[in-house]
Structure 1
Amino acid sequence: MNLGTVFDCAVGRYPNQIALVQAKRYYSFLQLNEEVNRLASSLRKLGVEKRDRVMVLMKNRLETVCLFWAIQKLGAIFTPINLRLSPEDTQYCINDAEPKVVFYEKNSERSVMKARFNERPILISLEQDAGDLSYRELVARGSSHFAGVPVDDDDIAVMLYTSGTTGVPKGVPRSHKNEYGSTMAHILQNHYEMFESTLGAMPLYHTMGLRSLLATCMLNGKYVVVPDYDARTALTLLSREKISSLYMIPTMYHELLNDPSILDHDLTALRKIGYAGAPMSATLTIKCFQMLKPQHFINHYGSTEIYTFTTCSVLDKKPGCAGRPGIHQQIRLVVPDANAASTPDEIVPPGEVGEIIVHAGSIEAFKGYWNRPDATRKAIRNNWYFTGDLGILDKDGDLYIVGRVDEMVISGGENISPMEIEEVLQQHPKVSEAVVLGEEDDRWGQIVVAFIVPKDRTITVQELDQFCKGHPKLSNFKRPRKYVFVREIPKSPAGKILRRELRSENIEKVEF
């Protein structure tokens, strides 16, 4: 089933059910549908056709949700990108996707206006008197009735951008079938029911954010919008709206549970919680059980490319466990090889660490990266997707994630390439060498740690932090949160950096 039809079915089934809440304004499915139709009809007049990309640089808000559904009705491709990307990364994504239209707001205006387009798209702003057209002008010009464009299940519905090992964002096209299958799996794996309500905390440029939106729509549930996540606001909304389910990254749970006002809020309606996007520490897992008392608590392990790899619902017994394959999935652990030379048949013996690979024939699996046949060939081999994650199976056959083949850092649900940060740090005149690793952190899952061999002993942490903040090629969320000055970077005889030795207590540090 295509996503436009999914929305129409929800509208027809319970037209007066509350679909979306923003601040203290409530919108029924019928009211949402009217704005969606006005947007779709106006966009068609602007020339947006089936398979056109429509890029969205906006926070979670009513307008972003309506745009998502309007784009589905048009058979176009919803292409959101992270507002926190650097202007250079934003420009790269726009030129890579070649969108017909770009929607933006105040927070993303600078990046959009600084971009040098290969082919200039139509620019539509949330602000009046900005861009070629404003969002409200677009809605006003539209019709409240719109017949959706015929769409095949294999047509592309969304394209999400994810950072890879090179640090260059890669477009991940996902079909209507992918999104529908992934959402049905999400509903089943999280024990969701009709009229489930959730907090729209995860951004809609993230696969987790889209999953929450789609799941609540399919179940005629209530999606409570959170444009800017903060724990106090989240607690207020959870209590006021009697939210029944949460799906967030561990960082958000950490902030929620550590807010001093948590005991002042009634969270008894919250029965189902899940996390994904980063590891959750045992300490935080236990705290979730103690303070939120969920009936169901799920660790969802997956990716933008293939939504579900595995899920674990026994976190009270096995904190941090990734569990068993999802309902659409098969996995294997094979001999790790950073040069992508291993095959799906090189399965490691039980109890040994291996690279986790996932069958690419799943209904939840993408077919390949946008404009990146090289990356597709490396990731999908013999119809298996090589995740780059290292895992081990315990005696029960449950999966645990133990690291990355390529040492990617996942912090606050964002993929961060160490190489990209290392290249920036090595441009500093007082840095001789730099190596970046991820360090476990209760709040962020991992934080970025930079090991620096100084060229000049006057170097300071503050100086390096300011250098990274001001560097045009480095998004702010990627900058190191901790610096360690060392005498030398440990290397093998062949000159390969021994990253694991940097984690050792025996590493010789430099004190100034």
Structure 2
Amino acid sequence: MQDLGRTFLQSVERSPNALAVVDGGQRLTYAEWYERIQRVAHGLSTLGLRRGDHLLVVLQNRIEMATLHWACQFLGVIVTPLNWRAKPDEVDYCAGDSAAKAVVCEPVSAAAVAESHVASRLTRIGVGGADGTVQYAQLLEQAPPQPILQADSEAVSLMLYTSGTTGKPKGVPRRHRAERAAALGHVAQNLYRRGERTLGVMPLYHTMGVRSLLAMVLVDGVFVCVPKFDCAAAFRLIEQERLTCLYLVPTLYHDMLTWRANNPLTRIASVTKLGFAGAPMQDGLLKRLQETFQPELFVNHYGSSEVFTFAYDQDATRKAGSAGRAGINTRIRVVGLEAGSPDQVVAAGEEGQIICELEGEEAFESYWNRPDANAKSIRAGWYFTGDTGYVDLEGDLFVTGRVDDMIISGGENISPVDIESVLSLHPLVDEVAVAGLKDERWGQKVVAFVKTRAEVTPDQLNEHIRQSGLLDFKRPREYVFVREIPKSPVGKILRRKLVAGEFEEAK
């Protein structure tokens, strides 16, 4: 299989004059972007970076971030992106764990890098006026004497760090061949055509952002950089750039619909394809998106940094809550919650842990410097995701949560997602999250944390639950009305914060 540098060259050769990337007033064709990428790759090489070295990048989704990502693919350097909101201790850990040779920062992340004992001693590349050993503009000063093309399909393309909700984050190294296969799968599963145009808002430290970046290049498409999400800017770019596809987490879709309710004249007709991942989408939001955008294609993706696509459904509203079936490069199973072997498959309809075979082209091989994590998650050639779910009688997968999120109340296993889906359909509920709180009688009691559109009472919500047909033992025993549902930067509900009382009640 080709490496990603050659993949980019294909688009340069096919469509040199086609628009490739946009960031504010900067608009580059594939030929122009390639020249800039080559200059940056040469600049990195003059700083001593070589194939297999890690470049730590702590940037927002700006054109420099996208350009550095591609420059590393040509040079054979492992791009290692971090959340631009990362704290000094997180930067310190990841810089040391990856043995990074250099770090890139901008004003919003410069303080965290400077306060990191490890990162502050590295060569620092400053972007947007941030202090550094060198400035990004200096990387552009010279073109290489010969085109740089130093990677192959077996080289490591990038290393993503998992969110680390428990313990230290885990490095997930991914080879060029796995990244290319995942991008090809993404194109196929989203039915992307040549020249698609997408909103580049999902962060490039997250697999969703990286997949959008690579997929657009595969189809000679346009990646419109959005450094920091803003609803007004997102709708303006949809109209100005005639964007054709959106690939976002449910939280951003929710915020966009809320904004558009007050700005109904914004033009969105160019958008014909919607995709989401990162977290389940509640039924109420699915319906509102379908009504608003009326897309030709509405795709639900379920995956991870380790194996991009576990499953997908090209008609997300067909069967609410379903993640569909295995991706085109993967095999999946559901095994018992306590299973130690991939052969302990459960019956249809029975809840268990979702696992994925690592022989698939999209899969990683092992974690970086984490034999403990490998021992926990990799068994007999299968990746144990830590997610719970079941396969229905028709063969569709339903993801019900995390093993750690499962509520055990009165001896019954209760999935928060089932309850959230039902409550989200109440017209006065804006967002909802369900968690298990300690209870002397039940062990854990089901508590629903609700953000409302207008005043609603627990009795009204209980009546809605009863009419839904949800089994009574799953009904919330308490409702807490909150100002916001705590979430990660990519929109995953942080139930641990709800359990710990880290939320603000609505007044």
TM-score w.r.t. the length of structure 1 is 0.80
Size of the aligned set, in residue pairs, is 433
Q: Amino acid of the residue matched to residue 302 of structure 2? A: Y
What's 2:298 paired with? 297
Show structure 1 runs of 5+ residues with no match: 410-436, 454-464, 470-476, 486-512
What's 1:208 paired with? 208
Q: Amino acid of the residue matched to residue 21 of structure 1? A: V
Say if 1:38 and 1:145, in contact at 8 Å, map to a contact too: no
- Identical counterparts, % of pairs: 39
Taking the aligned partners of 1:4 and 1:29, their CA distance within structure 2 comes to 13
Partner-residue secondary structure (3-state), 2:390: strand
Q: Report Cα offsets for 1:371-394 as digits up to 9, x if no partner.
A: 101111211100010011111111
Say if 2:107 and 2:130, in contact at 8 Å, map to a contact too: no
Aligned in 2, Cα 1:264/1:248: closer, same or farther, shift over 3 Å?
Answer: same
Taking the aligned partners of 1:379 and 1:282, their CA distance within structure 2 comes to 31
Q: Report Cα offsets for 1:298-348 as digits up to 9, x if no partner.
A: 1000000001100012322212210100111111110112xxx52101111
What's 2:60 paired with? 59
Find runs of 4+ consecutive structure 1 residues off by over 3 angstroms.
437-453, 477-485
**1:121-132 map, 5 Å:** 121-128=122-129, 130-132=131-133
**1:64-83 map, 5 Å:** 64-83=65-84
What's 1:364 paired with? 362
Aligned in 2, Cα 1:446/1:68: closer, same or farther, shift over 3 Å?
Answer: farther
Does structure 1 residue 274 correspond to structure 2 residue 272?
no
TM-score w.r.t. the length of structure 2 is 0.80
Instruction: Tell me how far 1:440 sits from its aligned partner.
Output: 4.6
**Which structure carries more relative contact order (alpha carbon 8 Å, separation 6+)?**
1
Taking the aligned partners of 1:174 and 1:160, their CA distance within structure 2 comes to 8
Taking the aligned partners of 2:280 and 2:146, their CA distance within structure 1 comes to 43
Instruction: Tell me how far 1:26 sits from its aligned partner.
Output: 1.5
Taking the aligned partners of 1:147 and 1:305, their CA distance within structure 2 comes to 32
Aligned in 2, Cα 1:129/1:219: closer, same or farther, shift over 3 Å?
Answer: closer
What's 2:315 paired with? 314
Q: Amino acid of the residue matched to residue 362 of structure 2? A: E
Q: Report Cα offsets for 1:462-482 as digits up to 9, x if no partner.
A: xxx9xxx9xxxxxxx969765
Instruction: Tell me how far 1:446 sits from its aligned partner.
Output: 7.1
Instruction: Tell me how far 1:84 sits from its aligned partner.
Output: 2.1
Aligned in 2, Cα 1:347/1:445: closer, same or farther, shift over 3 Å?
Answer: farther
What's 2:178 paired with? 178
Taking the aligned partners of 1:223 and 1:408, their CA distance within structure 2 comes to 38
**1:35-50 map, 5 Å:** 35-50=36-51
Q: 1:403 aligns with which of 401, 404, 419?
A: 401
Aligned in 2, Cα 1:446/1:327: closer, same or farther, shift over 3 Å?
Answer: farther
Aligned in 2, Cα 1:85/1:446: closer, same or farther, shift over 3 Å?
Answer: farther
Show structure 2 runs of 5+ residues with no match: 408-415, 440-481, 487-492, 502-507
Say if 1:18 and 1:29, in contact at 8 Å, map to a contact too: yes
What's 1:251 paired with? 251
Say if 2:55 and 2:103, in contact at 8 Å, map to a contact too: yes
Partner-residue secondary structure (3-state), 1:183: helix
Instruction: Tell me how far 1:111 sits from its aligned partner.
Output: 0.9
Q: Report Cα offsets for 1:210-248 as digits up to 9, x if no partner.
A: 000001111111111100101111011011111001100
Aligned in 2, Cα 1:261/1:119: closer, same or farther, shift over 3 Å?
Answer: closer
Partner-residue secondary structure (3-state), 1:167: coil
Q: Amino acid of the residue matched to residue 190 of structure 1? A: N
Say if 2:127 and 2:136, in contact at 8 Å, map to a contact too: yes
Q: Report Cα offsets for 1:141-200 as digits up to 9, x if no partner.
A: x21664224322121001000034633110000000010000000000011010011000
Aligned in 2, Cα 1:315/1:450: closer, same or farther, shift over 3 Å?
Answer: closer
What's 2:444 paired with? none
Taking the aligned partners of 1:46 and 1:206, their CA distance within structure 2 comes to 26
Decide which moves more: 259-268 or 170-179: 259-268
Taking the aligned partners of 1:154 and 1:408, their CA distance within structure 2 comes to 39
Say if 1:279 and 1:445, in contact at 8 Å, map to a contact too: no
Aligned in 2, Cα 1:109/1:478: closer, same or farther, shift over 3 Å?
Answer: farther
Instruction: Tell me how far 1:46 sits from its aligned partner.
Output: 1.1
Does structure 1 residue 27 correspond to structure 2 residue 28?
yes
Taking the aligned partners of 1:59 and 1:180, their CA distance within structure 2 comes to 23
Q: Amino acid of the residue matched to residue 378 of structure 2? A: I
